[in-house]
Amino acid sequence: MTLLSIKNLNTAFKTRNGEVQACRNIDLDIEVGQTVGIIGETGCGKSVLGMSILKLLPYNARVTGEIRYLEQNLLTLSDQAMREIRGGGIGLLPQSPSTSLNPAMKIGTQIEEGLVLHRKMGKPAAKQKAVDMLTFLGIKKAKKVSEQFPHQLSGGMKQRALAAISITGEPRLLIADEPTKGLDAIVKTQVVELLKQLKAETGAALLLITHDLKVAECLCDKIVVMYSGEIIEMAATQKILKKPAHPYTKGLLQSLPEAGMTPIPGQSPSLSQVISGCRFYDRCEIRQAACRYQRVPLSVVNGSQVRCLYAD
């Protein structure tokens, strides 16, 4: 059963220097209970896609297309209706817990807010439930921690507190935006285990936005590769990692330390740059003349959906 269906999504930002097209013609389905990873370089549009789903973009954003959550087109909903879905139907685990948590509020109070809003709990019940959730997420002395402020917690504990906040509404879809960014190896491992635990206990689908291929491999059923605002390859996780089809995906995997850290020459085009053909053209080793001018739709190549004329 399809939980979230995105059709022809385009997200652009009006700026003084022209329009920046951050997401281009995105088509993506997420099934109930499925974990989908979106990977790609910094600035490729991954996080903008996540925030487009939640309608948490700045005033200068323009979003067109369809984002259907349980058959409701989110782009047509009122602000009030979206507030009920955020945290309730769709939860967000944002990057950087140090900046996402309110430094002036106790941890327990921040969790209680969602419980009161989404589960309609009274304050005494919400207070106890907040402690129970922290315990469930592996925090020892949870009652004491609930009375502390974010600056008193370690990085791993902050991430767990943020996870508790993200599931207060018992969401059916959880969007995790770069949850391991900037974390050391130990805390990163803890976060991966935390996400596994959240999925196992809640049954929620997970949209994981990450640049970390190792994290994606551990968690995802399907991987979506983005480049310069577009989806350029999409397939089952092991299919992507073991037999990538698009030349960009191949280059991305070859740039990993275990593969020799061979960089892809050149750099991504600006998101404001209008390109009629393949956006990877200038960096591609297998490009042909047709690639410069011909826009290519996603097509099936050996079981993967690929945006390339000459993928193998």
> What is the H or E stretch that residue 117 is in?
helix 107-118
What's the confidence (pLDDT) of residue 27? 97
Query: Residue 125 domain-assigned?
Result: no
- Between CA 137 and CA 127 the distance in angstroms is 16
Q: Residue 78: CB partners within 8 Å, gap ≥ 6?
A: none
Phi/psi region, residue 252 (left: phi>0; alpha: psi -120 to 50; beta: rest), is: alpha
What six digits make up the tokens of 99?
């900046």
What's the confidence (pLDDT) of residue 87? 78
Q: Residue 114: CB partners within 8 Å, gap ≥ 6?
A: 87, 165, 168, 169
Q: What is the CATH number of the domain that holds 235?
A: 3.40.50.300
Query: Residue 99 domain-assigned?
Result: no
Query: Which stretches of the chain drop beneath a pLDDT of 50?
Result: none
Query: Residue 157 domain-assigned?
Result: no
The pLDDT tens digits for 23-32 are 999 999 999 9
Is the CB of residue 48 less than 8 Å from the CB of residue 23? Answer: yes
Query: Residue 110 domain-assigned?
Result: no
What's the confidence (pLDDT) of residue 122? 93
Query: Residue 116 domain-assigned?
Result: no
Is the CB of residue 110 less than 8 Å from the CB of residue 184? Answer: no
**Domain of residue 70, residue span:** 2-80+210-304
- Between CA 231 and CA 235 the distance in angstroms is 11
- Between CA 49 and CA 266 the distance in angstroms is 25
**Prediction pTM value:** 0.91
Helices (H) and strands (E) in the chain, counts: 12, 12
Residue 86 DSSP one-character state: B
Query: Residue 129 domain-assigned?
Result: no
- Between CA 113 and CA 116 the distance in angstroms is 5
What's the confidence (pLDDT) of residue 110? 94
Domain count, the chain: 1
The pLDDT tens digits for 283-303 are 999 999 999 998 889 999 888
What six digits make up the tokens of 185?
């190896």
What's the confidence (pLDDT) of residue 256? 85
Query: Residue 53 domain-assigned?
Result: yes
Query: Residue 58 domain-assigned?
Result: yes
